[in-house]
Amino acid sequence: MAAPDARMMNPEPMDAMRAAHESPPSGALPRVCAVVPAHNRRDKTLRFCDNFARLTYPNRSVVVVDDGSTDGTAAAIRAAHPDVEVVIGDGTLWWSGGTNLGVRHALRRGADYILTINDDCVMEPGFIDELVRVARRDPRYIVGCRLHCEDRPHEVWSLGTRVVCRGGELFALNHAGRRWEDIRGELPDPLPVDTMPGNGVLLPRAVFERVGFYDERNMPQYHADSDLVLRAREVGFVPVIALRSVLYNHILEKPLVDNRRDLLFSRKSDRYWRAIWTTLRRHGPPGRRCYLMLRQYSPFFLNGRLSSRIKRLVRRLVEPLRKSDSLAIERGYNPTCAAGPTRHG
């Protein structure tokens, strides 16, 4: 991925950003373009287009990026939904590259907001209306939705995510597995979050103009969505969740990889080494990044007893010194010297 222009990376005063990217007049609804990467799942993509056509927000369009499908996806969309724009990829784009291609196309067509979304979800009719309602409150907002499990619609899958960077975890889904009825009265709307999955996210065009695009080189399939929001937050954008915007999310029943080699090196792995390391390098705690990188893989390559010993050893290497250790060093103790403690002077 080419480095973003330096002018996009430098924060500018928020009042200047508001003036440059203020919402359209109250009588004009902003133009929202949904960008949908697709590859060889024609029926799901057609179902998405059917669902999108029933949404109530009027000033909307959709771009499907068909990344080299061989199942007739593009032809089926054009026949059933001639109003849907289809952009063709070469089959090497993955999620990030396909989304970037669609975003660039939508920006050239004058979109005010980009909606990133997957083709295997189901949207409630007012889904975009609620995203836009919240987004127009503040031009800094990046607005995510309430994600529920499609096969358990009462259950929350995610209300955004938070940065964890602890043990083998990078991010954690907020309120995952809880019933919406049990928590709905406890939360502010919109709900501030660290970042969010890329399924059902409304981003003002200013994000791409100032921060750049998804990191398709280092994060082709996973983590680029969270990374872009975190980069945008660093220059003043504010990620929030619109709690009245609801998306029903298809949950994978099994991992996309099934062996240790692919776990590390396959681009379809959520633990692809380049994506993990780039995430830690940009957003992980200084001094613990190498340790956290190792912790991503130790459960898959080491047996339980050996893994526990190595984790304890590595933890001792990176944790702060105990008070007794600090005092010993201050008194001149050299732990590599068999003669023991010595005193200066």
Token pair for residue 252? 């994978």
| Residue 322 confidence (pLDDT) above 60 | no
Token pair for residue 335? 């732990």
- Once rounded to an integer, what is the mean pLDDT over residues 127-135? 98
Asked if residue 246 lies in contact with residue 131, where contact means CB atoms within 8 angstroms, the answer is no
Residue 320 pLDDT level (bands cut at 50, 70, 90): low
pLDDT value of residue 5: 39
pLDDT value of residue 324: 52
Asked if residue 316 lies in contact with residue 305, where contact means CB atoms within 8 angstroms, the answer is no
pLDDT value of residue 307: 61
- Once rounded to an integer, what is the mean pLDDT over residues 162-174? 94
| Residue 80 confidence (pLDDT) above 70 | yes
| Residue 328 confidence (pLDDT) above 50 | no
User: Exposure string (b/e) for 99-119, b if CB count within 10 Å is 16 or more?
Assistant: bbbbbebbbeeebbbbbbbbb
Closest CA to 214 of 304, 324, 95: 95
pLDDT value of residue 257: 80
101: left (phi over 0), alpha (psi -120 to 50) or beta: alpha
| Residue 319 confidence (pLDDT) above 90 | no
Percent of the chain with pLDDT over 90: 73
Q: What is the pLDDT of residues 170-217, one digit of tens each?
A: 999 999 999 999 999 999 999 999 999 999 999 999 999 999 999 999
Residue 336 pLDDT level (bands cut at 50, 70, 90): very low
pLDDT value of residue 306: 61
pLDDT value of residue 301: 79
Report the C-alpha gap between 7 and 85 in whole angstroms: 31
User: Mean pLDDT across the chain, nearest whole number?
Assistant: 86
| Structural domains for the chain | 6-249 (3.90.550.10), 260-323 (no CATH)
pLDDT value of residue 195: 98
